[in-house]
């Protein structure tokens, strides 16, 4: 098996595929990249058993072969080389792959490719197509709100909800919730499934530069994402997602409109002086003034700032975890946001007041924390 390839082009694909690699694998074969050569097409795969990703690229060859090459060694070797053609030759007798560059030759021991785990066969598959840019935005806007509690695995991923009317993506950790909806996108099949965090993190970084459409194939247990030269297959999280619509308050008569950047900066400053366990900041609204304060009684630290805002509703005080507020405000692009509230013990809703695309709908919910009187 022999092929010639650009070192830069190969490294780029290996770095995408390498996103799935674990540092401590249960099977030694998973520490390798699978190279599957068929003439001028080289397919590279990596897997952690739950998620498998493969990329294809064109090489100069007329051979065929299937070998598994140590991933970290190959990545580090290619990173140390400047852009140039590199020749790979696999020798069955010695069990090594020789990599030749302008600088010299490097040998790596390979494993027979047949030992590599096979992809699951997907049956009864439905397909939905979505522009890569929209999917990347949906993942970016929701993934940060997903939980990491191992006892509640269904909340550790992002809930995909496809219908003939829209596509909805939801993430929550029971303290905060984000719902990202596209009313300009729809599916021929009504479907609901929960995507794990790891494959979404890989998709998020890979889709950023993709202008093409992404084909999502899914059934009860697996999902497969196909775009450009990439195929990502993963096992879905098993379980029923909580009824998120039930926790979103419908009547929120108290509405504050405020500049997002100003509000974010103020919360960050005041939060420095908050209790390090609760991270509580207090919002006091009256007329067109917002008072933001925090206090750490144990160490006699406190801070207070006053901002102007547009506010309609009853005078009220409400407490929030400052870290959740900062996360949400950081993940919005709008210049102005609305904070809608009903009572000091009910969730606050953050909505962007501008910069939304046609058909785009973003809702962020944050649970209050009990105020010390």
**Is residue 361 within a helix (H) or strand (E), and if so which, with residue range?**
strand 360-366
pTM over 0.85: yes
Q: Is 356 or 274 the better-scoring residue by pLDDT?
A: 274
pLDDT band at residue 373 using 50, 70 and 90 as cut-offs: low
Q: Which neighbouring-strand residues pair with 261?
A: none
Q: Which CATH superfamily is domain 2-115 in?
A: DNA Polymerase III, subunit A, domain 2 (3.10.150.10)
* pLDDT tens-digit readout, 324-345: 999 999 999 999 999 999 999 9
Span(s) in the chain for CATH 3.10.150.10: 2-115, 126-245, 249-369
75 C-beta neighbours (distance < 10 Å), count: 17
How many helices and strands in the chain, by DSSP H and E?
Answer: 6, 27
Mean pLDDT, all residues of the chain? 95
The class of domain 249-369 in CATH terms is alpha beta
* pLDDT tens-digit readout, 213-259: 999 999 999 999 999 999 999 999 999 999 999 999 999 999 999 99
pLDDT at 70: 96
pLDDT at 301: 95
pLDDT at 355: 82
* pLDDT tens-digit readout, 157-211: 999 999 999 999 999 999 999 999 999 999 998 999 999 999 999 999 898 777 7
pLDDT at 150: 86
Q: Is 119 or 231 the better-scoring residue by pLDDT?
A: 231
Angle at 117 between CA 113 and CA 121, to 5 degrees: 120
pLDDT at 26: 85
pLDDT at 119: 84
Interatomic CA distance for residues 10 and 32, integer angstroms: 15
Radius of gyration, CA atoms only, the chain: 25
Q: What is the CATH number of domain 126-245?
A: 3.10.150.10
| HSE of 38, CA atoms in CB hemisphere, 13 A | 4
* pLDDT tens-digit readout, 139-150: 999 999 999 988
């Amino acid at each position: 098996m022999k092929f010639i390839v650009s070192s830069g082009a190969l490294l780029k694909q290996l770095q995408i595929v390498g996103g799935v690699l674990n540092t401590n694998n249960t099977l030694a074969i998973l520490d390798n990249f699978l190279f599957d050569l068929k003439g001028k097409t080289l397919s590279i795969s990596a897997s952690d058993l739950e998620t498998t990703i493969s990329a294809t690229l064109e090489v100069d060859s007329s051979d065929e072969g299937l070998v598994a090459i140590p991933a970290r060694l190959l990545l580090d070797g290619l990173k140390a080389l400047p852009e140039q053609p590199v020749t790979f030759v696999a020798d069955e007798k010695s069990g090594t792959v020789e990599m030749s560059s302008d600088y010299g030759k490097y040998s790596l021991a390979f494993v027979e490719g047949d030992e590599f785990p096979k992809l699951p066969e997907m049956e009864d598959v439905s397909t939905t197509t979505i522009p890569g840019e929209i999917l990347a935005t949906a993942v970016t806007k929701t993934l940060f709100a997903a939980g990491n509690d191992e006892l509640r695995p269904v909340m550790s991923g992002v809930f995909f909800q496809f219908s003939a009317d829209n596509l909805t993506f939801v993430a929550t950790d029971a303290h905060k919730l984000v719902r990202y909806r596209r009313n300009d996108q729809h599916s021929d099949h009504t479907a609901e499934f929960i995507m794990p965090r790891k494959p979404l993190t890989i998709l998020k970084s890979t889709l950023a530069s993709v202008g093409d459409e992404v084909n999502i194939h899914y059934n009860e247990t697996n999902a497969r994402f196909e775009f450009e030269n990439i195929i990502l297959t993963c096992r879905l999280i098993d379980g029923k997602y909580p009824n998120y619509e039930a926790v979103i308050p419908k009547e929120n008569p108290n509405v504050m409109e405020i500049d997002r950047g100003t509000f974010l900066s103020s919360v960050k400053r005041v939060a420095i002086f908050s209790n390090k366990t609760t991270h509580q900041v207090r919002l006091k609204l009256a007329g067109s003034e917002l008072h933001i304060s925090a206090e750490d009684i144990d160490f006699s630290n406190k801070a207070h700032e006053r901002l102007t805002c547009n506010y309609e509703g009853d005078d009220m005080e409400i407490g929030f975890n400052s870290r959740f507020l900062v996360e949400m405000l950081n993940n919005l692009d709008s210049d102005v946001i609305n904070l809608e509230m009903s009572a000091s013990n009910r969730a606050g809703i953050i909505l962007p007041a501008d910069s939304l695309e046609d058909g785009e709908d973003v809702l962020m919910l944050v649970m209050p924390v009990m105020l010390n009187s």
